[in-house]
């Protein structure tokens, strides 16, 4: 009996050993396959592209194994008629008498990313991979959903064509998105040139993190995704782009309008010369302003003065983002939009944050660092959205104004800085990515000088021509971005350049040449001491033009 038990036990041990060895062997094969798959993903971006960006996409969560191969040239398309075509046509052609446009024209003009062109010629048969309106997944009105992996979800806001000479892979598409994944998986791009043919397919080559704060799962972080337009399609201008988890995915829930062109518009980029005047071309400049969120606070008159001062300073246009604002601010925005001086893009902060103006203001105050990180999305959106119109874009808030005591206009100051840096460093990528103006405070409680005391009380900028002598924030500045070079930005700095890491540092203008006036806060007793303030009359050269223009707008809009 004992001998039988011993033999049975020996047999069990032998079977267990064989089974355990088989498990180890299978695990070894699986691990080896995983290692090889990750190695292929690691090597592929460097073999198939020329780009080595700030974000190493090889460390991302791996995609399906097809990502280790070269990008597919195209997908197979099955043509079919658009369902509910008649309904689309009737709804998109609804006339809006107050605006004298159709509903489709309104969407084209105001929506930040809807590719209305993809819904023209609806009687033509379409590729079955093109998502319909009803299939697009929306969040907070303006964000389209994309899933790169189980751990990575993107909220897509906008997409841009980039064919600038300094771009490392041209042409390419830049896509702005939020994500809570600190290490996003790498998706693919479906690039659409029309609705009848299949999309061109390209893997995202680089993911840039646009923030100076550490990454965190508890907030929406701003990312810039770059995908190359395949060589076979590089001569075509894309209409839209979709982000997908794998090539030729059938169920697509996003489709962003691709904004931009193959080259910059010279008619907007350069200051129009005075008739019969022979001089070197002068670069125009435009302004990227904030996302306006003044709902209960009526700052409409201050906004009018700010806009008219920028116009008098020589800025070609001002671009703003609109959330929920006071009715008077809406009137001002529509007035300047109709005039052509202001461009407005709709913006909303994504969930779980409330869009209610009161709750939003509480959240923005308490969670200020989260707001700062999310602002980088619309700041970068602004510079990329308008880089095809203007080479130079200045970042300014409603309480900031360039002070130019030695120049008649901002473009003249800017071109002087460009000339000096070109003489010193050469041209192209050797130039600074931005030209910065450092702050001086023009506090609200400083005594109004006699030179501006006769001006109306509502002209806050013009009346406050005194500034403090103190250096409260000597290192703070606002940039004017050179869009030949810049691709991603923070609120007050450059994050990434067209070729990846910027080659040069930004140029900071000496404050005795020009500075940024910050018209905010009170100074108190410190500014009542002798010699604590100095008068700067730089804005007063515009006072007649600005004061009459502001008075006219106030009358016209009954502010």
Q: What is the pTM of this model?
A: 0.86
Q: Taking residues 153-176, report their average pLDDT.
A: 96
User: Any idea which of 8-17, 43-52, 233-242, 339-348 has the lowest mean pLDDT?
Assistant: 43-52
Nearest CA among 198, 202, 193 for reference residue 76: 198
Strand pairing report for 515-518 and 434-441: parallel
Percentage of the residues of the chain whose pLDDT score is greater than 90: 64
pLDDT value at position 119?
82
pLDDT value at residue 73: 59
What pLDDT band is residue 318 in, cutting at 50, 70 and 90?
Answer: very high
In 10 A of CB 44, how many CB atoms? 18
Q: Is the pLDDT of residue 56 over 90?
A: no
Residue-level pLDDT at 204: 97
Q: Bigger pLDDT: 528 or 41?
A: 528
pLDDT exceeds cutoff 50 at 467: yes
Structural domains in the chain, sorted by start:
79-259 (2.60.40), 281-557 (3.90.550)
Residues 197/149, Cβ–Cβ less than 8 Å: no
Instruction: Please state, rounded to an integer, the average pLDDT across all residues of the chain.
Output: 86
* Per-residue model confidence (pLDDT) at position 255: 97
Give the mean pLDDT of 230-258: 95
Least confident residue range of 6-20, 39-53, 347-361, 543-557: 39-53
CA distance 467 to 403: 11
pLDDT class of 41 with cuts at 50, 70, 90: very low
Whole-angstrom Cα distance, residue 381 to residue 160?
9
The string of pLDDT tens digits covering residues 511-537 is 999 999 999 989 888 888 899 999 999
The whole-angstrom separation of Cα 400 and Cα 478 is 9
Residue 144 has pLDDT above 60, yes or no: yes
Give the Cα separation of 191 and 255 in Å (integer): 9
Q: To which H or E segment does residue 55 belong?
A: none
Residue range 481-502: average pLDDT? 94
Q: 427 phi and psi, to 5 degrees? A: -120, -170
Q: Is there a cis peptide before residue 171, judged by omega within 30 degrees of 0?
A: yes
**Per-residue pLDDT tens digits for 90-99:** 888 999 998 8
- pLDDT tens digits for range 179-229: 999 999 999 999 999 999 999 999 999 999 999 999 999 999 999 999 999
pLDDT at 161 over 50: yes
User: Rounded to an integer, what distance in angstroms lies between the CA atom of residue 382 and that of residue 393?
Assistant: 9
Q: Is the previous residue joined to 352 through a cis bond, with omega within 30 degrees of 0?
A: yes
C-beta separation of 316 from 267 below 8 A: no
**Per residue in 17-31, pLDDT tens?**
444 444 333 344 333
Is there a contact between 191 and 74 (Cβ–Cβ < 8 Å)?
no
Element (H, E) at 190: strand 188-192
Q: Check residue 18 and give its pLDDT.
A: 44
402 vs 10, higher pLDDT:
402
The SS3 assignment for 104 reads: helix
- Beta bridge partners, 481, equal 393, 434
Confidence tier at 46 by pLDDT (50, 70, 90): very low
Most confident stretch, 104-118, 157-171, 344-358: 157-171
68: confidence class by pLDDT, cuts 50, 70, 90 = very low
Task: Note the pLDDT of residue 275.
Answer: 61
**Where is pLDDT greater, at 47 or 407?**
407
Lowest-pLDDT choice from 56-65, 261-270, 332-341, 359-368: 56-65
Span 263-286, pLDDT tens digits: 999 999 999 876 656 667 899 999
Average pLDDT over residues 233-239: 95
Contact (Cβ atoms closer than 8 angstroms) between residue 320 and residue 293: no
> Per-residue pLDDT for 45 more than 90?
no
User: pLDDT value at position 55?
Assistant: 40
pLDDT, one tens digit per residue, over 276-316 is: 566 678 999 999 999 999 988 999 999 999 999 999 999 99
DSSP secondary structure code for residue 538 in this structure: G
Q: Is the pLDDT of residue 137 over 60?
A: yes
Tokens of 90: 């009737």
Q: Which two tokens stand for residue 181?
A: 């994944």
Tokens 């800017």 appear where? 414
pLDDT attached to residue 71: 64
Q: How far is CA 491 from CA 129, 182, 288, 306, in A?
A: 38, 20, 10, 19
Per-residue pLDDT reduced to its tens digit, 118-136? 888 888 899 999 998 889 9
Query: Bridge partners of 66?
Result: none
Cα distance from N-terminal residue to C-terminal residue, the chain: 107
pLDDT band at 471 (very low <50, low <70, confident <90, very high): confident
Q: Determine whether 119 is exposed, middle or buried from the number of CB atoms within 10 Å of its CB (0-12, 13-18, 19+).
A: buried
């Amino acid at each position: 009996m004992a001998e039988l038990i011993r033999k049975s036990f020996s047999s069990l041990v032998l079977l267990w050993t064989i089974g355990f060895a088989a498990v180890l062997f299978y695990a070894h094969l699986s691990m080896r396959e995983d290692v090889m798959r990750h190695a292929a993903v690691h090597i592929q971006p460097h073999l198939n592209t020329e780009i080595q960006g700030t974000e190493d996409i090889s460390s991302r969560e791996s995609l399906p194994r097809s990502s280790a191969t070269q990008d597919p040239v195209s997908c197979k398309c099955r043509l079919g008629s658009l369902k509910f075509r008649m309904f689309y046509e009737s709804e998109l052609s609804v006339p809006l008498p107050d605006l004298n446009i159709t509903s489709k024209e309104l969407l084209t003009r105001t929506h930040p990313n809807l590719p209305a062109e993809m819904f023209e010629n609806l009687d033509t048969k379409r590729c079955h991979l093109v998502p319909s309106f009803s299939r697009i997944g929306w969040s907070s009105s303006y964000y389209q959903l994309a899933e790169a992996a189980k751990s990575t979800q993107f909220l897509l806001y906008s997409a841009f064509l980039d064919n600038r000479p300094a771009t490392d892979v041209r042409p390419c598409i830049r896509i702005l998105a939020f994500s809570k994944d600190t290490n996003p998986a790498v998706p693919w791009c479906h690039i659409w040139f029309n609705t009848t043919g299949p999309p061109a397919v390209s893997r995202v080559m680089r993911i840039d993190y646009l923030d100076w704060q550490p990454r965190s799962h508890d907030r929406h972080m701003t990312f810039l995704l770059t995908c190359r337009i395949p060589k076979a399609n590089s001569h075509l201008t894309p209409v839209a782009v979709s982000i997908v988890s794998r090539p030729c995915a059938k169920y697509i829930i996003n489709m962003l309008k691709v904004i931009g062109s193959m080259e910059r518009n010279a008619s907007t980029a350069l200051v129009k010369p005075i008739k019969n005047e022979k001089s070197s071309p002068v670069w125009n400049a435009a302004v990227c302003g904030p996302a306006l969120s003044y709902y209960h606070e009526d700052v409409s008159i201050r906004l009018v003065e700010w806009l008219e001062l920028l116009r008098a300073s020589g800025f070609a246009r001002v671009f703003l983002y609109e959330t929920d604002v006071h009715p008077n601010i809406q009137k001002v925005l529509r007035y300047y939009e109709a005039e052509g001086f202001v461009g407005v893009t709709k913006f909303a902060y994504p969930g779980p944050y409330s869009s209610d103006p009161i709750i939003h203001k509480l959240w923005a105050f308490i969670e200020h660092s989260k707001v700062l990180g999310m602002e980088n999305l619309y700041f970068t959106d602004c510079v990329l959205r308008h880089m095809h119109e203007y080479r130079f874009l200045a970042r300014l808030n409603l309480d900031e104004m360039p002070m130019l005591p030695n120049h008649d206009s901002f473009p003249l100051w800017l071109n002087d800085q460009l000339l000096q840096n070109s003489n010193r460093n050469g041209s192209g990528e050797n130039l600074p990515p931005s030209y910065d103006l450092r702050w001086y405070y023009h506090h609200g409680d400083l005594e109004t000088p006699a030179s501006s005391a006769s001006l109306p009380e509502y002209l806050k900028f013009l009346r406050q021509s005194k500034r403090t002598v103190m250096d409260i924030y000597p290192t703070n500045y606002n940039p004017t971005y050179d869009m030949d070079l810049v691709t991603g930005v923070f609120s007050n700095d450059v994050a990434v350049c067209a070729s990846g890491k910027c080659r040069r540092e930004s140029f900071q203008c000496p404050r005795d040449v020009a500075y940024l006036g910050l018209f905010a806060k009170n100074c108190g007793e410190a500014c009542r001491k002798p010699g604590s303030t100095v008068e700067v009359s730089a804005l007063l050269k515009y006072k007649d033009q600005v004061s009459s223009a502001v008075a006219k707008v106030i009358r016209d809009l009954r502010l």
